């Protein structure tokens, strides 16, 4: 085994989700380099020696999209893809991470590449296999919110039950029964009611809740 070892190119790709107008959106940039120049793609970049994959993810996200890691409430590694013909230098390996945010400040900088959020139902044509990576991330997220409180990462710290339900519906892409949803979510004891109400429009104000804990918790079968 002790020949001269040369490692493949290592990259990271970022799938950043956010809720906008009760729709799940994903962050894309427009590539300014070949291949796939001017095509939309997930933010991604090289992972050099000495930098952990997580740090590379954070750096790439910051430089390419102007989003800092403090704006991500949850980060999860998804999968590692062998990418052929991605990099002009040949075979490359790419680690995909998913990040959830509730309201990122996209800071323009010299190095950003026109970062924008797109509803997952209306994606433009994408570079590489990024469409399938997004699909994979979406499935992971859908399943994750059914057995954890991961949805907290997409919501403000305080929210009404209707907002919570809409967040679930946006991720799962289907409607949920209001009474059954509330019954279940309350039975899990993940939420705590505040004493505040959210008044908006000509109707009864909604009680505001927050999560008991901010971190990720696993609970027995939230939604099925």
Tell me if 77 contacts a second copy by CB under 8 A. Answer: yes
CA proximity to 78, closest of 101, 60, 96, 57: 96
Task: Kindly compute the dihedral angle of the four CA atoms of residues 20, 23, 26, 31, in this order, to the nearest 10 degrees.
Answer: -80
Residue 79 binds: one of DNA, a second copy, none (C-beta under 5 to 8 A by kind)? a second copy
Tell me the two tokens of residue 45. Answer: 């970049």
Neighbour tally for 146: CB within 10 Å? 17
How many helices and strands, by DSSP H and E, does the chain display?
4, 10
Touching a second copy, residues 6-25 (CB under 8 A): 6-10
**Spatial distance between the Cα atoms of 166 and 144, rounded to a whole number of angstroms:** 16
In the set 30, 93, 116, 182, which binds a second copy (CB under 8 A)?
Answer: 93
Judged by beta carbon, residue 112 or residue 163, the one nearer a second copy is: 112
Nearest approach in angstroms of CB 31 to DNA is 40
Nearest approach in angstroms of CB 202 to DNA is 3
Contact predicate 115/29, CB 8 Å:
yes
Question: Which positions touch a second copy (CB under 8 A)?
Answer: 1, 5-10, 45-54, 77, 79-80, 82, 90-91, 93, 95, 111
Question: Which positions touch DNA (CB under 7 A)?
Answer: 160-162, 177-180, 182-184, 197, 199, 201-207, 221, 224
């Amino acid at each position: 085994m002790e020949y001269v070892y040369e490692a493949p190119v290592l990259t990271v790709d970022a799938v950043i989700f956010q809720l906008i107008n009760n729709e799940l959106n994903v962050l894309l940039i427009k590539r300014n380099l070949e291949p796939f120049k001017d095509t939309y793609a997930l933010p991604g970049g090289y992972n050099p020696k000495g930098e952990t994959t997580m740090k590379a993810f954070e750096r790439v996200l910051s430089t390419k999209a102007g989003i800092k890691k403090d704006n991500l409430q949850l980060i999860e590694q998804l999968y590692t893809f062998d990418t052929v013909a991605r990099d002009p230098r040949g075979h490359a390996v790419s680690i995909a991470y998913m990040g959830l945010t509730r309201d990122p400040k996209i800071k323009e900088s010299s190095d950003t590449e026109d970062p924008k959020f797109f509803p997952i139902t209306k994606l433009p044509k994408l570079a590489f296999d990024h469409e399938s990576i997004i699909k994979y991330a979406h499935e992971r997220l859908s399943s994750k919110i059914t057995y954890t409180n991961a949805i907290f990462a997409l919501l403000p710290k305080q929210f009404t039950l209707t907002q919570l339900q809409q967040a679930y519906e946006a991720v799962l892409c289907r409607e949920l029964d209001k009474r059954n949803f509330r019954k279940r979510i309350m039975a899990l004891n993940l939420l705590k009611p505040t004493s505040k109400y959210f008044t908006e429009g000509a109707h009864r104000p909604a009680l505001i809740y927050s999560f008991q804990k901010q971190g990720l918790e696993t609970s027995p079968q939230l939604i099925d």
